Amino acid sequence: MGPLIPNGVIPADWDSIIAILIGIVFGFVLESSGFSSSRKLAGIFYGYDFAVLKVFFTAALVSLIGMYYMDYLGYVDVSQMYVHPTYLWGAIIGGIIMGAGFVAGGFCPGTSLCAVAIGKIDAIVYVVGIMIGVFIFSELFFLFQPLYEGSYLGNITVEDSLGVNPYWFIFTITIIAIISFAVSDIIRKRNKKIFY
Amino acid sequence: MKNNQKNRHVYWNPYFGGFLLGILILFTFYITGRGLGASGAMKSSVVAIVDVVAPTHAENNAYYSKFVGKDKSPMNTWLVFEALGVLIGAFLSGGLTGRISWRVQHSPKITSKRRLVFALGGGILFGLGAQIARGCTSGAALSGMAVLSTGGFITMLAIFGSGFAFAYFFRKNWI
């Protein structure tokens, strides 16, 4: 039963090899979907290209639905998975700053790595920027510490915080995704085409 | 060669790419019990550089000291190997479709210099935000959502909400 490495089915020595293999597939899929192009990525914010919405939302739903199916069929125990912890204000303020960085720079960290790999100089500058951002955060950690460690709610899921049935929640997001895909196609047709 | 030039901007169907990415996230959770990440490798690089240049400073800083120690190496982490894989994978994909070249990609309405200045500023903001939120679009939002993490959903909504809110100010760079 999964997860395989924490449960000792695959020895932990394989960890790094598996990390590289998973990374290769991750990079290949992102680049092939056009995520190495900042102008394609930024399209979501101006309504001329919705690849980010479609890839991101589809990926989230496929993994989410798959996870709960595998849990239901007994292949994994979803409660053993690492749940990203919730620090309420850190998530909100950090997300807002990242959103501004996304629309200013046109990449997020994963996509900028893909663009670096195919020689985009703007992406190399962007990665240097990320490292400067991390450096600023670390050097001024005493300033950010209350935000970074405050409003801790634990490794909670929407099941805990909203009190909803996870299956109905997933079903609802799926409907929202399908509607947003249809709406995004209508918006894109109304906007003038951008070539890049 | 001619075929490659024609295919330069032909990308996968986004639903196909999204489906494969979803399967990969599922597979990653199934094997390792955790999700994907990207900004973690850049944090490790910064920690490693500071640790080499100023080891005592790294030990005394409350943030760096979480990642350096006697038997801990900041570069020997899962996320660093994964990021190396991302570079290889993207290089393969770009190479197969003839998209590899040195260039600065920007809207014809702006100069390369302006593009690079905004790329640097955007990177700084993203790096800072990713530390505050403990993860970026991959680690917090996408991998968080796969296990219904509340923080993952909040971060995802904050990133895209703020992106749309600030889009007006940066419109000249893109459209």
- Run of H or E residues at B1: none
**Which of B:5-24 have CB within 8 Å of A?**
9, 11-12, 14-15, 17-24
- Averaged pLDDT of chain A: 93
Tell whether A79 is within 8 A of chain B (Cβ): no
- pLDDT at residue A85 in the model: 93
* The pLDDT value given to residue B7: 52
Q: B116 contacts in A (CB within 8 Å)?
A: 121-122, 125
CB contact under 8 Å between B11 and A122, yes or no, is no
CA distance B124 to B122: 5
Tell me which chain B residue has its CA closest to the CA of residue A57: B18
ipTM: 0.94
Out of A5, A113, A160, the one facing B83 most closely (by C-beta) is A113
Closest chain A residue to B75, measured at CA = A16
Q: What is the pLDDT of residues B161-170, one digit of tens each?
A: 999 999 999 9
In this predicted structure, the answer to whether residue B1 has a pLDDT above a threshold of 90 is: no
Q: Do the chains contact at B87 and A51, CB–CB below 8 Å?
A: no
CB A120 within 8 A of CB A39: no
8 Å CB contact between B37 and B136:
yes
- Any B CB within 8 A of A105 CB: yes
Could you tell me if A153 lies within 8 Å of chain B, comparing CB atoms? yes
B 118-147 → A contacts, CB under 8 A:
118-140, 142-147
Q: Give the residue ranges of chain A where pLDDT is below 50.
A: none
Q: Residue A3's pLDDT is what? A: 86
Asked if the model's pLDDT at residue B127 lies above 70, the reply is yes
Q: Give the CA angle between residues A39, A44, A48 to the nearest 5°.
A: 70
Instruction: Give this prediction's pTM.
Output: 0.94
Instruction: Quickly state the pLDDT bin for B2 (edges 50, 70, 90).
Output: very low
The amino acid present at B143, given as its one-letter code, is S
* Closest alpha carbon to A193 in B164, B2, B9: B9
At B31-77, the pLDDT tens digits run: 999 899 899 999 999 999 999 999 999 989 999 988 987 777 888 88
Residues of B within 8 A of A118 (CB-CB) are 90-91, 94, 99-101
Return the pLDDT at A6: 86
